[in-house]
Amino acid sequence: MTKQVTFLMCSPRGDKSASYSLGSYVTRLLEEKGIAQQSFKIYQIIKNSQKIDEMIKSIDGSDIIVLSSPLYIDGAPYMTIKLMDIITEKNNQGKLSKKDRLLFANSNAGYLEYYHNNIALRIYEQFAEKNGFTWAGGLPIGAAGTYAMYPIPEFLKMLEPLPEDDPRKEIYEKPTKIIDSVIKTAVDHLSKGERVPESELKKLEFIPMPLQAYVDSGNKNWIDTAESLGAKDKLRDKPYELKK
């Protein structure tokens, strides 16, 4: 019988999100291995009971669940927690049959360091445990906004022709190649019904550029965007300051 994967995309930013870009890359590679995919954009279905039922049916028939989420305030966003609440409730009502299912997660942080995602991934692991899913591991991605702009394959194609001494080789191409390789190995394991080995996921434990360089470019980006929206001079406003 054909294996099946359910993709749970938890970012409200839709197709423009890192969660979509990275999660859909995983599920597309699974599809290439003959695993049928059903995907759900959680922010579109969260209030629609019919769609929720469809999602539960899909999970019920799935061998693999891929949950891809942004990191909000050091943990799972509201939307992702609500999703876990719903799945747990339906599971408790007996809507999920007994079956081996792997849960693989991806958490995307705005900060540069991958490890900000670790708490969220442990929360997803607890969710898996509570629901009888086998925790297959998680991808902690830092500075994930890059992948919201450029999906991995396109990004690598863009970076490839750059001369070897171009700094973007070191700060973008090298880390992206590592993430790409970890994802491909993860997909190999998942497609065989296996967990992704810790040793593989550990390869993501790197910080690709000096913190200050990230701070400087990030801050310039905020100012430029605010300027284009006519809000540059208001960036430091304190609208809720208590009047003494």
Partner 1 sequence: MSYLILNGMYKDDSFIPKINELVSKELVKRDVKGETIDLHKNAIKPCLGCFKCWIQTPGVCIIDDYAREVAKKMIQADNLIYLTPVHFGGYSSELKKALDRSICLMLPFFRVYKEEIHHETRYDKYPNLIVIGTLEEPNLKQEEIFSELVERNVLNNFAPKHATQIIYHSDDESTVKKKVEEGVRIVGDDND
Q: Over 38-106, what HEC string results?
A: EEEEHHHHCCCHHHHHHHHHHHHHCCEEEEEEECECCECCHHHHHHHHHHHHHHHCCCCCCCCCEEEEE
- 74-93 binders of partner 1 (CB under 8 A): 74-79, 81-82, 84-85
**Which residues, including other chains, have CB under 8 Å from residue 125's CB and lie 6 or more apart?**
105, 135, 138
Which one of 1, 2, 73, 199 is in contact with partner 1 (CB under 8 A)?
Answer: 73
Residue 203 in the binding site for partner 1 (CB under 8 A):
no
Residue 208 in the binding site for partner 1 (CB under 8 A):
no
What are the tokens at 56? 């539960």
Length of the chain: 244
- The residue nearest ligand FMN at its CB is 110
- x-or-dash string of contact with partner 1, 118-137, rule CB under 8 A: -xx-xxx-xx--x-------
Residues that bind ligand FMN (CB under 6 A): 11, 13, 17-19, 70-74, 108-111, 116, 144-145, 148
**Which residues, including other chains, have CB under 8 Å from residue 1's CB and lie 6 or more apart?**
none
71 contacts which partner out of ligand FMN, partner 1, none, CB within 5 to 8 A by kind?
Answer: ligand FMN
- Taking alpha carbons only, the member of 179, 8, 173 closest to residue 87 is 8
Q: Is residue 208 helix, strand or coil?
A: coil
CB of 184 to partner 1, least distance (A): 28
Point out which residues bind partner 1 (CB under 8 A): 11-13, 17, 43, 46, 70, 72-79, 81-82, 84-85, 111-113, 116, 119-120, 122-124, 126-127, 130, 211-212, 214-215, 218-219, 222, 225-226, 229, 231, 234-242
